[in-house]
């Protein structure tokens, strides 16, 4: 039986790197703690009018069980901590490391499609490429 949702994670379903990480999160979420929402879903704006998909495409967003919004690396860290995986990510929230880690995340977020192309050969996920053809 699933536990209550602890984090709604809003991700870019057109980004191959994002889709890969979401698949890993989904695979490890045995207790049903995460709700994973593609910001490009046709009904996204109706279901989440409080979140601008253009803003969500720039930086990862999450909504925790208490109703608090999380952004950027805080979302990734929270998701993996809930699943008891990649505990080392918690170090990125330490006071001296946090500003550098956040700057690195913002660089990644801004250039993720170029980085994806370098790593995978695709700027968009394969299912999105199939839809565009």
pLDDT reported for residue 127: 56
SS (H, E, C) the chain: CCCCCCEEEEECCCCHHHHHHHHHHHHHCCCCCEEEEECCCCCHHHHCCCCCHHHHHHCCEEEECCCCEEECHHHHHHHHHHCCCCHHHHHHHCCCCHHHHHHHHHHHHHHHHHHHHHHHCCCCCHHHHHHHC
The whole-model pTM stands at 0.88
| pLDDT tens by residue, 58-87 | 999 999 999 999 999 999 999 999 999 999
Q: Please list the ranges in the chain whose pLDDT falls under 50.
A: 129-133
């Amino acid at each position: 039986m699933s536990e209550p949702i602890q984090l709604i994670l809003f991700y870019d379903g057109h980004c191959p790197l994002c889709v890969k990480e979401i698949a890993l999160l989904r695979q490890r979420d045995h207790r049903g703690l995460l709700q994973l929402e593609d910001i490009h879903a046709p009904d996204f704006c109706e279901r989440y009018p409080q979140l601008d998909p253009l803003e969500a495409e720039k930086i990862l967003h999450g909504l925790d069980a208490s109703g608090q919004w999380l952004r950027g690396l805080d979302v990734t860290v929270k998701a993996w901590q809930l699943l008891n995986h990649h505990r080392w990510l918690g170090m990125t929230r330490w006071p001296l490391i946090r500003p550098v880690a956040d700057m690195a995340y913002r660089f990644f977020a801004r250039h993720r499609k170029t980085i994806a192309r370098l790593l995978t050969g695709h700027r968009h996920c394969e299912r999105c490429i199939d839809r565009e053809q």
